[in-house]
């Protein structure tokens, strides 16, 4: 399906005017960056790249799109003719999906003519801003969970398409599963889910509800025990499923107190291997507060799909260089108050100490620095002359991003994982 109209009108009117002035073919370099991190965030995570590359491949104007533009007089007929042949034929490089980023990081670089590159601005920011916000929040939840599994279950708290994107972003940074079946089908993410309170309320008794679920799913299932009374629910769960019961889920109450009581009750009933999973509006702070509690796994909904209060990453798409009328490269930058940018093509590297811990991000302007064994280059080629590197797309690309994130986050210093306010985990230096 064409993604060409998933954009802002001014992208097309700029192209229209540039065609009129004869500047639409000037070679340009655009960069995506975040000027700052949200309060209390020590790092961000790049996510959405694999989705975006496929959407760019589908950014084509077919007869239906062109007819709508013509009927609504969005651009002139000359531009309609130009759009009819549009396909991105430039190059894109950037941080690999799952990579860590900091303020000023040039995470996505689009090179091509002004017209073909600027058309991708809205789609690029739409994907990277949301997916990276979810991934950045989810990564904090993963570190707060201290190795215990997390399931993404926020589909009912966001748009239907965003739900799928959020599940993918959370999986990349370490969530183990999602409740969303389309995310499972599209991106190869394991899916989880058993029953809601309505299933218990449907039956004449809680015991009958538990029996029906165990009959259908087996004793290894997870029974929701807080519809009425938690202690009574736990007792019934073990009575119905036996001591081989897989898990119980708690979705309400004072979780530290409830979890401790349920653990003691399960042990006293001989169900020492029955796990406890908690849900109940969790975020990174409530997960961290449960570190000492005998919780075995977490289910997170609203907070993960909304970026834990930061639903966008604040990324911008800026022109940093172009060829002038004489064919010479010119660096350009904004000077607006609080929105100034740095001109010139960027080449980012991350410096690592002898233990492999990151201590600085260096961004070289206009020319890459000399190669060093203690520095890791952060850019990779994603699209070359219009051809997408398919390794970074689809189910395989999602798995690769998850793998890369695990290695990238392992380079961070310990202070990166603090949840309180503070500076970015490592400084960024321009050279």
When pLDDT is cut at 50, 70 and 90, the band that residue 370 belongs to is confident
Residue from 183, 186, 156 nearest 170 by CA: 183
Residue 373 pLDDT exceeds 90: no
Read off the pLDDT of each residue in 100-117 and give the average, rounded to a whole number: 97
Residue from 307, 304, 323 nearest 315 by CA: 307
CA dihedral (359, 174, 388, 320) positive or negative: negative
Is there a contact between 266 and 248 (Cβ–Cβ < 8 Å)? yes
For 153-172, write each residue's pLDDT tens digit: 999 999 999 999 999 999 99
Per-residue burial over 81-95, b if 16 or more Cβ lie within 10 Å, else e, is ebbeebebebbbbbb
DSSP label at residue 309: G
Residue 73 pLDDT exceeds 80: yes
pLDDT of residue 126: 98
Structure pTM? 0.96
pLDDT of residue 30: 98
Is 298 strand, coil or helix? strand
Read off the pLDDT of each residue in 189-205 and give the average, rounded to a whole number: 97
Task: Indicate the helix (H) or strand (E) that contains 33.
Answer: strand 27-34
The partner residues of 324 in beta bridges, in order of sequence, read: none
Read off the pLDDT of each residue in 124-129 and give the average, rounded to a whole number: 98
Average pLDDT over all residues of the chain: 96
pLDDT of residue 374: 86
Direct distance between the N- and C-terminal alpha carbons of the chain, in angstroms, rounded to an integer = 43
pLDDT of residue 321: 97
pLDDT of residue 9: 98
Give the integer Cα–Cα distance in Å for 296 and 146: 11
pLDDT of residue 338: 77
When pLDDT is cut at 50, 70 and 90, the band that residue 369 belongs to is confident
Is there a contact between 317 and 32 (Cβ–Cβ < 8 Å)? yes
Read off the pLDDT of each residue in 118-138 and give the average, rounded to a whole number: 98
Residue 289 pLDDT exceeds 90: yes
Homologous superfamily, domain 9-134+310-430? nicotinate phosphoribosyltransferase (3.20.140.10)
When pLDDT is cut at 50, 70 and 90, the band that residue 340 belongs to is confident
Homologous superfamily, domain 143-304? Aldolase class I (3.20.20.70)
Residue 260 pLDDT exceeds 80: yes
pLDDT of residue 19: 98
Torsional class of 174: left (φ above 0), alpha (ψ -120 to 50), beta (otherwise): left
CA-to-CA separations, 256 to 142, 163, 261, 301, 352, in angstroms, rounded: 19, 29, 9, 19, 39
For residue 287, give every residue at least 6 positions away whose Cβ sits within 8 Å of its Cβ, in sequence order, or none: 141, 144, 145, 298, 300
* Domain locations along the chain: 9-134+310-430, 143-304
For 216-229, write each residue's pLDDT tens digit: 999 999 999 999 99
When pLDDT is cut at 50, 70 and 90, the band that residue 336 belongs to is confident
When pLDDT is cut at 50, 70 and 90, the band that residue 282 belongs to is very high
CA-to-CA separations, 122 to 12, 22, 145, 166, 341, in angstroms, rounded: 11, 23, 35, 19, 19
Ranges of beta strands (E only) in 225-345 are 247-250, 275-278, 297-300, 315-323, 329-331
Give the integer Cα–Cα distance in Å for 133 and 354: 31
When pLDDT is cut at 50, 70 and 90, the band that residue 304 belongs to is very high
């Amino acid at each position: 399906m064409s993604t060409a109209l998933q954009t802002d009108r001014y992208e097309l009117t700029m192209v229209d005017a540039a065609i009129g002035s004869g500047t639409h073919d000037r070679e340009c370099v655009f960069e995506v960056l975040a000027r700052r991190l949200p309060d209390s965030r020590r790092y961000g995570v790049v996510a959405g790249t694999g989705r975006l590359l496929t959407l760019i491949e589908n950014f084509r104007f077919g007869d239906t799109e062109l007819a709508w533009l013509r009927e609504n007089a969005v651009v002139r007929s000359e531009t309609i003719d130009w759009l009819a042949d549009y396909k991105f034929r430039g190059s894109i490089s950037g941080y690999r999906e799952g990579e860590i980023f900091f303020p000023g990081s040039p995470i996505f670089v689009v090179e091509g003519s002004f017209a073909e590159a600027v058309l991708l601005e809205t789609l690029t920011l739409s994907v990277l801003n949301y997916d990276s916000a979810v991934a950045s929040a989810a990564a904090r939840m993963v570190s707060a969970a201290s190795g215990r599994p997390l399931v993404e279950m926020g589909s009912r708290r966001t748009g239907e398409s965003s739900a799928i994107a959020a599940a993918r972003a959370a999986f990349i940074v370490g969530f183990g599963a999602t409740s969303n079946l389309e995310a499972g089908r599209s991106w190869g993410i394991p899916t989880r889910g058993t029953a809601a309170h309505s299933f218990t309320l449907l039956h004449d008794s809680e015991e009958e509800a538990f029996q029906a679920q165990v009959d259908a799913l087996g004793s290894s299932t997870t029974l929701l025990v807080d519809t009425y009374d938690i202690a009574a629910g736990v007792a019934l769960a073990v009575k119905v499923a036996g001591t081989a019961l897989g898990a119980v889920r708690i979705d309400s109450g004072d979780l530290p107190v409830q979890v401790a009581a349920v653990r003691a009750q399960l042990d006293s009933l001989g169900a020492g291997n029955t796990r406890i999973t908690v849900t109940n509006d969790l975020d990174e702070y409530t997960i961290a507060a449960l570190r000492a509690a005998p919780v075995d796994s977490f289910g997170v909904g609203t907070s993960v799909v909304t970026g834990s209060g930061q639903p966008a990453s604040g990324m911008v798409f800026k022109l940093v260089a172009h060829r002038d009328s004489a064919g010479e490269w010119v660096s350009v930058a904004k000077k607006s108050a609080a929105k100034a940018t740095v001109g010139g093509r960027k080449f980012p590297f991350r410096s690592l100490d002898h233990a492999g811990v990151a201590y600085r991000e260096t961004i070289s302007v206009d020319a890459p620095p000399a190669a060093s064994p203690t520095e890791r280059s952060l850019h990779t080629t994603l699209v070359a002359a219009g051809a997408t590197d398919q390794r970074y797309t689809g189910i395989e690309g999602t798995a690769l991003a998850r793998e890369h994130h695990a290695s990238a986050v392992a380079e961070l210093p310990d202070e990166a994982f603090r949840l309180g306010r503070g500076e970015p985990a490592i400084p960024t230096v321009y050279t």
